[in-house]
């Protein structure tokens, strides 16, 4: 035999020997994949405890509070602003404010007091437009209230996106809001209300108030004939009796509701149609 053959025979014999030894000592089971897998499984913990941090309460935007010294005035600010504007002659107390509808063909008219009573935001924006931003900022500034110049005119009137001292807001009520406005109170907004008592005005949490029956029956009157009148003239006739007027179209009146000579009470909603209305 040559050397290569001897070497080959040697390795065959060694392999056979190792095979018999492994069988004798059960080495195949000890080094099997199954044994290795079970060994890792045994080492795994019986349970897994994970500490999850508690979820914090979300921080809301600051809201109106009877305890906070500075508050976002919301619609409350509109009352002394309008009272001040009337006192300064910027708007008329009994004048009708044009409130634009969604389309140019529709319009509504209300007196300032009624806009406040109804919390009509579009009406308040219309009043702000009549007063003008420069004059509105001046009205506030003279009472020590400074707001950013880049605020929208409507937001200033609606009391949005700025804060003032609560005592300053109440001082505005004491200075400008006379007994003529007593029927507006309590004035409720966003869960709070402005009330007037023997000490003056104050802001409290809103309460339910008993509704008292009206002591007077609304006066009855006869609807005038507005047909063929110019829209402006028809509006002036109605303004004596009611401010709840809606106008459609322009030019001369072609139709009206309620109809001419119809008996009505109080301040009914009246609608007049101009010749341009389709």
Is 196 a member of any domain? yes
Mean pLDDT within 20-44: 45
Is 199 a member of any domain? yes
User: Which of the two residues, 108 and 132, has the higher pLDDT score?
Assistant: 132
pLDDT computed for residue 5 by the predictor: 62
Whether residue 182 is predicted with pLDDT greater than 80 in this model: the reply is: yes
Convert the pLDDT of each residue in 56-98 to its tens digit: 333 343 455 556 688 899 999 999 999 999 999 999 998 889 8
pLDDT computed for residue 260 by the predictor: 93
Give the least confident one: 5-9, 104-108, 109-113, 232-236: 5-9
- Looking at the fold, whether 148 and 252 belong to one and the same domain comes out as no
- Looking at the fold, whether 147 and 260 belong to one and the same domain comes out as no
Mean pLDDT within 229-249: 87
- Looking at the fold, whether 78 and 197 belong to one and the same domain comes out as yes
Is 16 a member of any domain? no
Whether residue 119 is predicted with pLDDT greater than 70 in this model: the reply is: yes
Bridge partners of 214, per DSSP, are none
Provide the pLDDT confidence category of residue 4 given band limits of 50, 70 and 90: low
Is 30 a member of any domain? no
Is 8 a member of any domain? no
- Looking at the fold, whether 172 and 238 belong to one and the same domain comes out as no
Q: How many other CB atoms sit within 10 Å of the CB of residue 183?
A: 8
pLDDT computed for residue 9 by the predictor: 66
The domain of 124 spans 70-96+111-205
Is 210 a member of any domain? no
Q: What is the tally of structural domains in the chain?
A: 2
Q: How many other CB atoms sit within 10 Å of the CB of residue 128?
A: 23
- Looking at the fold, whether 91 and 150 belong to one and the same domain comes out as yes
Mean pLDDT within 34-54: 38
CATH number at residue 227: 3.30.10.20
Whether residue 151 is predicted with pLDDT greater than 80 in this model: the reply is: yes
What radius of gyration, in Å, describes the C-alpha atoms of the chain? Answer: 41
- Looking at the fold, whether 182 and 120 belong to one and the same domain comes out as yes
- Looking at the fold, whether 231 and 265 belong to one and the same domain comes out as yes
- Looking at the fold, whether 91 and 147 belong to one and the same domain comes out as yes
Cα–Cα dist 37/18, whole Å: 25
Give the least confident one: 8-12, 112-116, 227-231, 262-266: 8-12
- Looking at the fold, whether 77 and 162 belong to one and the same domain comes out as yes
pTM of full prediction above 0.95: no
Is 1 a member of any domain? no
- Looking at the fold, whether 265 and 144 belong to one and the same domain comes out as no
Is 160 a member of any domain? yes
pLDDT computed for residue 241 by the predictor: 83
């Amino acid at each position: 035999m040559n050397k290569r053959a001897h070497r080959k025979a040697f390795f065959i014999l060694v392999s056979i020997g190792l095979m018999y030894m492994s069988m004798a000592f059960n080495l195949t089971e000890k080094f099997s994949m199954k044994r290795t897998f079970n060994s890792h499984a045994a080492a795994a913990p019986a349970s897994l405890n994970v500490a999850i941090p508690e979820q914090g309460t979300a921080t809301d935007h600051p809201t109106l509070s009877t305890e906070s010294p500075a508050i976002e005035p919301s619609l409350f600010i509109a009352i002394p602003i309008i009272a001040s504007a009337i006192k300064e002659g910027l708007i008329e107390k009994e004048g009708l404010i044009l409130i634009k509808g969604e389309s140019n063909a529709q319009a509504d008219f209300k007196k300032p007091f009624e806009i406040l009573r109804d919390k009509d935001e579009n009406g308040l924006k219309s009043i702000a437009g009549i007063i003008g931003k420069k004059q509105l900022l001046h009205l506030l500034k003279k009472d020590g209230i400074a707001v950013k110049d880049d605020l929208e005119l409507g937001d200033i009137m609606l009391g949005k996106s700025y804060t003032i001292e609560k005592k300053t807001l109440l001082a505005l009520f004491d200075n400008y809001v006379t007994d003529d406005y007593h029927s507006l109170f309590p004035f409720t907004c966003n869960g709070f209300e402005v009330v007037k008592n023997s000490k003056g005005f104050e802001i409290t949490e809103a309460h339910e108030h008993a509704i008292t029956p009206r002591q007077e029956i609304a006066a009855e009157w006869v609807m005038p004939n507005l047909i063929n009148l110019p829209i402006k003239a028809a509006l002036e006739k109605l303004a004596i009796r009611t401010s709840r007027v809606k106008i459609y179209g322009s030019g001369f009146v072609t139709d009206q509701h309620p109809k001419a000579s119809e008996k009505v009470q109080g301040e009914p909603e009246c609608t007049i149609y101009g010749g341009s209305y389709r």
